[in-house]
């Protein structure tokens, strides 16, 4: 390997896209990494200007290689080694909490409803 290239799995690990190199390798094997539109194997070299599409948690990240590094570096050099062209995600809607009265009544609430309707749950009478 020349100094102008690095393995794709090592580069993804070095620029902190994946926490471990084995996770980056597994992503390559699973087909979640594409280099210039083609599925990438873990040992494929990346060069400056290559575009990587990495699928993480169901979303694609679009990264451009600025500097091919293969050793893990600090946050600032790692950020300088890539250009993130990922479009901003739509905000995830926050699910509202369920209202207390919504949905199926609890067992206690069903008993209270039966008492109000005049049904006696102990005797098993279902007729009003």
In a domain, 125, yes or no: no
> Judging by DSSP bridges, how do beta strands 59-65 and 38-39 pair with one another?
unpaired
Domain count, the chain: 1
Q: Residue 31: its pLDDT value, please?
A: 94
Question: How confident is residue 1, by pLDDT bands cut at 50, 70 and 90?
Answer: very low
Q: What is the CATH number of the domain that holds 67?
A: 3.10.290.10
pLDDT tens profile 35-70: 999 999 999 999 999 999 999 988 899 999 999 999
- What is the spatial distance between Cα 40 and Cα 32, in angstroms, rounded to a whole number? 8
As given in the structure block, the two tokens for residue 125 are 């009478």
Q: Residue 3: its pLDDT value, please?
A: 56
Q: Residue 65: its pLDDT value, please?
A: 95
pLDDT tens profile 96-125: 676 766 788 889 988 988 998 888 756 555
pLDDT, greater one: 98 or 25: 25
In a domain, 61, yes or no: yes
Average pLDDT on 9-33 reads 95
> Judging by DSSP bridges, how do beta strands 51-56 and 59-65 pair with one another?
antiparallel
Domain boundaries, position 17: 6-84
């Amino acid at each position: 390997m020349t100094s102008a290239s690095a393995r794709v799995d090592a580069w993804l690990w070095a620029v902190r896209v994946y926490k471990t190199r084995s996770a980056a390798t597994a992503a390559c094997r699973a087909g979640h990494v594409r280099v210039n539109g083609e599925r990438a194997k873990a040992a494929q070299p990346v060069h400056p200007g290559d575009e990587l599409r990495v699928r993480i948690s169901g979303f694609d990240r679009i990264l451009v290689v600025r500097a091919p590094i293969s050793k893990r570096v600090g946050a600032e050099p790692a950020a300088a080694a890539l250009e993130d062209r990922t479009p901003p995600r739509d905000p995830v809607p926050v699910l509202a909490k369920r209202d207390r009265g919504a949905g199926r009544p609890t067992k206690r609430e069903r008993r209270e409803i039966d008492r109000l309707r005049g049904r006696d749950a102990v005797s098993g009478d279902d007729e009003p």
